[in-house]
Structure 1
Amino acid sequence: MKKVFPVLVAAVFTLSVLLAVPVTSAQGDLGSEDNPIQVYFVPSTEASVIVTGGEVMAAALEEATGLNFEVFVPTSYAATVEAMCAAPDSSMGFIPAAGYVIANQRCGVEVSAAAVRFGWPAYWAEYIVRRDSDIYTFGDLDGKTWGYGDPGSTSGYIVPSVELAAAGLTPGSEVQTGGHNQTVLAVYNGEVDFGTVFFSPALMPEGYAAWQTGDLPEPYDLTVDESYIGDDDNLYVGDIRIMDARANVRDTAPDVIEQVRILRLSAPIPNDTLSFGPEFPAELRQQIMDALIAFSGTEAWNQSIGSEDFYAWSGLEPIDDAAYDPVRQQIEILGQSEEDILGG
């Protein structure tokens, strides 16, 4: 398979554009100025948001550990896996379940922690359509145009592919949009019949029961004047805060809730990972883990990976490789190789 290393967006306390992924370690101890630890983020949301938040994380980690970090946002999930495998002794990455499984299979990338989002160790894929669409059941998706962000996205593509195939449904055509935000906007603009993106449960106000598995994905009675952007710049319906992928496009499409509805949710998916290259030093890995756990308790976390516009991680907790066996099984059921999923 031909390996291609596309243009990356990088940040080390300043923004810059790199023309290639570093493929060998520079001279000097790992974490030194001439051999910084390489931190990779998949481009599931806006690259500029990730770069800015990545700077905040890099600054916090440097202060806590005395190490130097360099942040990269590759142009695809495939490029992220390639980059980590190309730097086995100096890379760490925040990658979703399917990307981790493939990186582990390809070069032995190892998971250390999983995201926690508002108390949930898992998330879901949501199937979205326009509110004025005549699509009301899962079976109605047969023959319809499907929009998804990236074939390496667990919630955007892998899980929906398995579920569609298991139900005997075949989309009429597929459109790769480039990300969750773009998929929501493609549905919003009527460019595709349905899309698949990530779902995190809405946050219920005080006095209401918290959302539970099996509840309706939209736990509210929608009226046009109940959807709004609050003074805190978050998206609400009444007093209920929207946390799924639609919230990420609220600035571009403030009426997204009025125009786009959730058709259904997938089965639960193990949360995204913090993973390290297979030769990354164990003592530095633990040092970074401790620093990230401490960072997750600070306000700065919410300007970084904890931001709703970034990855919306509330925190992270240790996890082992076996937790991702269900994802491996889904990929096997799908009958696709890593080249099929990530591209070659």
Structure 2
Amino acid sequence: MKKVVALLFAAILAIGLTACGTSSDSNSGGGSKDGEVKKLVMGFVPSQDSDEIADTVEPLADKLGEELGVEVEGKVMTSYSALVEAMGSNQVQIGFLPAFGYVLANEKHGVEVILKSERYGSGTYKAQYVVRADSGIESLEDMEGKTWAIPDLTSTSGFLFPAAQIMDEFGVEDVQSGFFSNTVEAGGHDNAIISVYEGDADVATTFDDARTAVEEDYPDVMDKLKVVEYTDEIPNDTISLTKELSDEWKKKIKDTFLSFNDDEEMIKIMNEVYSWDAIIEAEDSEYDVVRSTYEKFKESISVDDM
């Protein structure tokens, strides 16, 4: 069995089943048929310590609620899959989704991208392959047979793009047993980096440069770990909304987030949470490159394999 791909599709299937089993009427506010909104929930997945993110996003939720005139709650989710599920059942209305998470949420639940991050003046970024500096690993080829740490199976930079790159370059269909010897789902970009630092994995794939996220606790991480390779450009992570919200509310939320570009405190929070330097507009078509990469996995596994 194509193990990693099968695990990915199992996660995707779980998203669909969970969403189907949960009524959107069970949400705590969200969009209703008459367009009324009593409360909004923003969903985040930690790229650092969960408790720290919860504390950091609280002022952002408060400010957004103040501007919109409704209560806004910031909710830290356990994984991108859990966030997609929550948006599918309308328990979360505003999702900070990575590119692949957005593509899945859009395909399955009609979630709509409105904005994305800008970092270093760019709306795109690359995934990186990180190894120990003393590992002797100097190229993708050297990673064959090693243990791979990924943040999450639905992570764009942590899984999707690196796996597709390896499939293309080495002609393998099963990235785990056909290339890597083992795959560790670390539960976050920081944890993937730490897995390599502590010797629990040989290589981690993360956003560029996730090493800085753990530098406070691991001051020598930039010396101990090195970047060996990068993927092609990936569209930046998104702010996406559930389909239950009316067009009027979508516009209000979009305009309010864009206004935060002029609020130094809010941009500082965005930078602390996900290293956003600015908030810029986004179009669904920008994520077609992610869809086409996702298709590689659809084509590499049949229903009988799952």
TM range, normalised to the smaller chain?
0.7 to 0.9
Alignment partner, residue 173 of structure 1: 182
Alignment partner, residue 227 of structure 1: none
- TM alignment of 1:165-314, pairs within 5 A: 165-168=167-170, 170-199=179-208, 244-307=209-272, 310-314=273-277
Distance 1:38 1:336 in 2: 35
Distance 1:174 1:62, change over 3 A: same
Runs of 4+ in 1 over 4 A off after TM superposition: 1-5, 20-23, 26-30
Alignment partner, residue 327 of structure 1: 290
Tell me how far 1:34 sits from its aligned partner. 8.9
Tell me how far 1:26 sits from its aligned partner. 4.5
Alignment partner, residue 74 of structure 2: 71
| Contact residue 149 and residue 183 of structure 2 kept, 8 A | yes
- Alignment TM-score, normalising by the size of structure 2: 0.83
SS at match of 1:304: helix
Alignment partner, residue 132 of structure 1: 134
Aligned residues: 278
Counterpart of 2:244, as a letter, is: E
SS at match of 1:80: helix
The gaps in structure 2 that reach 5 residues or longer are 1-12, 173-178
Across the aligned residues of Structure 1 and Structure 2, the Cα RMSD in angstroms comes to 2.7
Counterpart of 1:175, as a letter, is: V
Among all aligned residue pairs of Structure 1 and Structure 2, give the percentage whose two residues are the same amino acid. 34
Tell me how far 1:177 sits from its aligned partner. 0.8
SS at match of 2:117: strand
The gaps in structure 1 that reach 5 residues or longer are 6-19, 200-243
Distance 1:70 1:337, change over 3 A: farther
Distance 1:318 1:128 in 2: 31
Write the deviation string for residues 295-321 of structure 1: whole angstroms up to 9, x where unpaired: 2322212442222xx101111211211
Distance 1:196 1:336, change over 3 A: farther
298-307 vs 285-294, which moves further = 298-307
Write the deviation string for residues 59-118 of structure 1: whole angstroms up to 9, x where unpaired: 111222212112211111111001001018x71111000000000010110111111112
Write the deviation string for residues 239-260 of structure 1: whole angstroms up to 9, x where unpaired: xxxxx10011012100001100
Counterpart of 1:187, as a letter, is: V
Tell me how far 1:39 sits from its aligned partner. 1.0
- Alignment TM-score, normalising by the size of structure 1: 0.75
